[in-house]
Amino acid sequence: MASVKAVNITNLDATPIVKTDSETNGGKIRVSYDNYEASSLASGSDITIGRIPANATIMDVVLKCDALGGSSTLAVGDSGDADRYLAAVGTWNAAGQTQSMLGGSTAANTAMTGLGYRTTAETDIIITTGGATISGSIHCWVMYTVE
């Protein structure tokens, strides 16, 4: 099992902080985008892929991935609920598969607790791997409002 950080989270945690571009984090509906390149990442690992501010309302979470490997699953949640935004679904064995809270997916998605969820504190978005070791690109967009 491993705990890893995606590109923008690594930059945010650097000293000094490396700022992200507004195209990956900003707007009326704000967007947090990040990606992670998995290389033989063990089942049961977690990837911190986004950080959402306090009092944000989650509008959508979208995953788009390479073929990660047969029997692999991904769930998207936070420290309070591992599949709050997207339930553990798979198999991610075809390149270009997409899942979205609002737009549906190429696999069944039963996570409903994240729709319109309002954070009470700064919240990390976490992808949890399951089923098998994975390799490939994982892209994640979190759309939210803070008004």
Preceding omega of 119 cis (within 30 degrees of 0): no
pLDDT, one tens digit for every residue, the chain (147 residues): 899 998 888 888 899 998 876 545 555 789 999 999 999 999 999 999 999 999 898 989 999 999 998 889 999 999 999 999 998 877 787 888 888 888 765 555 555 678 889 899 999 999 999 999 999 999 999 999 887
| pLDDT value of position 108 | 52
Element (H, E) at 7: helix 7-13
CA distances from 68 to 42, 72, 93, 138 (A): 12, 7, 6, 9
* pTM higher than 0.85: no
- DSSP per-residue codes, 16-51: S--PPPGGGS-SSSEEEEEEEEEEEEPTT-EEEEEE
